Amino acid sequence: MSATLRPGSKHKSTRPRSFKLLLGGVAVLLLALFADTVFRDGLSRLSDLVFDSFQRAAPRAATLDPGVLVVDIDEASLARVGQWPWPRDQVGQLVDTVGSLGAAAIAFDMVFTEPDRTSLGPQLQRLQAQGIAIQVAPNAPLDNDQLFAQAIARNPVVMGVALSSETGRALSPPLAGLSFAGSDPRAYLPAFEGGLSNLPVLTAAATGIGSFSFPPARDNIIRAMPLVASADGQLYPGLGVEALRVAQGASGLLLRSSDASGEAAAGPLALTAVKVGMLELPAAADGRFRIHYSGMPHMTAIPAWQLLQGDAAAWADKVEGRVVLIGTSAIGLRDIVATPLAAAEPGVNVHAELIDQALNQQFLQRPDWARGAEVLVAVVSSLLLLLVMAGARPLLSSLAFLLLLAAVLGLAGWAYTRHAWLLDPLPALLCLLAVFVSMMPTLLFVGNREKRFVRSAFSRYLSPALVERLSHDAQALQLGGETRQITVLFSDIRGFTALSENLSPDALTTLLNDFLTPMTDVLLAHEATIDKYIGDAIMAFWNAPVDIAAHPRKACLAALGMAAAVDALNRERGSALRIGVGLNMGEACVGNLGSQQRFSYSAIGDTVNLASRVESLTKYYGVTLMVTDAVRAEAAELAYVEVDRVRVVGRNEPVQLFALLGDAQLAQQAEFAALAQAHAQVLALYRSGDFCAALNALQVLRMQSGAASLAGLHALYVQRLEQLIIHPPTQWDGIFTATSK
């Protein structure tokens, strides 16, 4: 079988393909890692979406009794108390009520930038300007802001400020003292240009000032809050941080930078932590704190109207010793934000989440080694995928790609849920995707080329089913030569030399084509590999290049099919062709055999030689189909009779030969059983040396029904027995020694 492969090698493209795929894949991997580094800021949006999915799948364990609660200016409170803004004396009343219930700190998630227009003083001035004179009591409060400030001064209140770069208005200075471990963060934190502060009278009365501004996000989802922010040359703690400071009675904050050890920082300066009283919160480089949301299902939310108009004392056990945030969930007041857990959440609840995490010291953290681990996972997983793709089929490569994607996501999810580590799977996912997308077209092209090669090389020598198996599993095709257990068949036309002398070349060609075509059809139908045609002779074998189950039996059935096909051809052509078929089973070397210029897929070895000898002996013994004992042992259900024990040319050990007469159905018939038994008795007498008795038994056997199929064999034994009777041997072992091939 001609092919385009070099002898002694596997498929010629395997190693080059593997090397080129690996080389190209490594280049793609390096490019993907470079792109991930360069475009990290842009890709962070995708990373955020991954972490959002982790948050939704595994929210932070909710605190059963949070140390923080919300006084909510909700829709019901607006309906009962009146539209916002409420008179400041009422807000002051709310502060006094909460303070009287024992709140550790009261923080406003809002800012009061303008004077209260409902104060009595401004209203009197307005009426007087219109010529209306109204008498008021001498001690009547004329300024609601003063009343509010007095309430603030009586209680541990944190006033909120809004930091922004959209306004340059000056801010009131922060009240928290600051100390630094390392560099002053104002040197590297992003700075706001200004913001909105409370009225000076309110600021002067406050215990603390904190920023409630949410950092801008491209998708408006709040994932982090600044622990401390720089604005107008000052450092402002976040509202939650300042509330914790006031609640603990601490005077200031400790800000730790990356150079806090006294040594030069390895990279750009960054904030690493903020310590407030006894609590410490980890910070990202820009001062932000990543919020691990729980949804705060057990947190108390008191409608504001119940403290102003209801039984406030009923809430004492809920308020005492806790940080109280005053905010709003009313849609009209526009303090609704999106979080990873909810599309609409009151902004005050985000501050509550931060405070709850600080009190419980439960944090999401990004370890120092995170980036190195992400690159390592990306490289290792991509190289694993490359190794699989270099040696596997596209389907298996696709499965490996999906499994590696799942493994990377699973590893990141495990780190998130088990250790609260923010390990970004995106670099590995992008590298895997880049490798797979860039290499799969090459793999498909090479795979299709291999399939085309296999189909081209074997389509004329294997059945379509076997060619399809090989095309889908090229690795099963060991083209470099291997030792396999095979069944070998040789067939030949009897008297072909004499026949060819009487035919013209055209007639001879027609005869051969008419003969070889049905023979080939039979062999391919029984999953044979056709090795070669040698004139009228055919060599075929089973169980190479692919595994064939029960190959000795299939070879025997193929031989019976060939004999039947010859009978059909004789009836069709009116000819008298006869064939001889020899079968043997054993180990042989199969693979590419030949020269560098031309070679074929074939089999060599003693097993093949013996099959050829068996085929030659069919003419001598006068039988059509003959097999060795090795074949008969593996397909014992078929119909056989023993022929002889022979020492063939080139072998010292004798081989037991059997004539194959039919299939398993014939073997079950009583007539054949009687014939086989009588034949075996003749051979037993022959081998025992009782030649006269053997001859007499053989003469009786030749008259038995069904013996006509063995007429040539029996005629040979009659002649042999008569000679042995006339010239009895001095030594007898019952083994015939062949003198020719």
Give just the sign of the alpha carbon dihedral 636, 642, 643, 646.
positive
233 or 131, higher pLDDT: 233
Q: CA 416, CA 381: separation in Å to the nearest integer?
A: 19
pLDDT at 416: 93
Task: Flag whether pLDDT at 461 surpasses 60.
Answer: no
pLDDT bin (cut points 50, 70, 90) of residue 133 is low
Taking residues 387-391, what's their average pLDDT? 78
- 3-state secondary structure at position 315: helix
Task: Flag whether pLDDT at 8 surpasses 50.
Answer: no
Angle between helices 347-360 and 239-248 (to 10 degrees): 50
With contact defined as beta carbons under 8 Å apart, do 185 and 287 qualify?
Answer: yes
pLDDT at 594: 64
pLDDT at 10: 39
- Residue-wise pLDDT tens digits, 56-104: 999 999 999 999 999 999 999 999 999 999 999 999 999 999 999 999 9
Beta strands 279-282 and 271-276, pairing class: antiparallel
With contact defined as beta carbons under 8 Å apart, do 491 and 612 qualify?
Answer: no
Query: Residue 603: which of 524, 655, 532, 525 has the closest Cα?
Result: 532
Task: Flag whether pLDDT at 307 surpasses 80.
Answer: yes
CB neighbour burial string for 332-350, b if at least 16 within 10 angstroms, e if fewer:
ebebbbebbbeeebbbbbb
Helix (H) or strand (E) holding 517: helix 505-525
Angle between helices 670-688 and 711-726 (to 10 degrees): 20
- Residue-wise pLDDT tens digits, 545-579: 888 999 999 999 999 999 999 999 999 988 889 99
679, burial (CB in 10 Å: exposed 0-12, middle 13-18, buried 19+):
buried
- Residue-wise pLDDT tens digits, 570-592: 999 888 899 999 999 999 998 76
Q: CA 224, CA 412: separation in Å to the nearest integer?
A: 20
Taking residues 315-339, what's their average pLDDT? 93
CB neighbour burial string for 48-73, b if at least 16 within 10 angstroms, e if fewer:
bebbbebbeeeebeebeebbbbbbbb
Prediction pTM value: 0.63
Taking residues 283-299, what's their average pLDDT? 93
Task: Flag whether pLDDT at 466 surpasses 70.
Answer: no
